[in-house]
Amino acid sequence: MLINYGDIFNTHESSLNNSGTLLNYGTISNDANFGAGFGNGGILNNYGILNSHGVGFGWGMGNGGTLNNYGTLNNSGGCNNCEGSFGGLTNSGILNNSGTLNNSGNTFNGNTGTVNNTGALNNTGFLNNRGILINSGEIVGAGTYFQSAGQTINNGSMSQTSFDFQGEV
């Protein structure tokens, strides 16, 4: 287990990978543009700030495990919630996406916090909104957008195979 109260910076052609348990109370910044980026194959609980700015020939941030955001997750690069993950992505804090967030055949388990999407949210899995989702970008894909509570504010475009609104809209 790694507990971070300070700053972790992943830059240029480097990679940072978690296959155990990482608790972040500080700041983790991924700015790797040509490396492997930041990979989570274990459990990452973010209570601080998690920045994913990496793009290029590698990938920005990949989640093949469990990513629980209780703090702030800023994605301005690429972020992949990958197929085959056992846990998926859960947001109870603030998730700001101005890049590309891919939910690839997996579960965006639940948003009980706030998602500000000004970029591209590609959903080919299951996205469960129970918080506030503000879309000024695009939400696209062959997935399911499910809302059991909360609020969806759409000032952009939304195109999914299935929409299921059971809560407020």
Whether pLDDT at 168 is above 80: no
* pTM, to two decimals: 0.89
pLDDT value for 137: 98
CA of residue 115 relative to chain centroid, distance: 9
- CA–CA distance from 19 to each of 10, 112, 133 (Å)? 16, 26, 30
Q: What's the rounded mean pLDDT across residues 5-29? A: 83
Who's near 43: CB < 8 A, 6+ residues apart?
Answer: 20, 21, 22, 65, 66, 68, 87
Least confident of 68-72, 131-135, 163-167: 163-167
Whether pLDDT at 81 is above 80: no
- State the chain's mean pLDDT as an integer: 84
In eight-state DSSP terms, residue 56 is: S
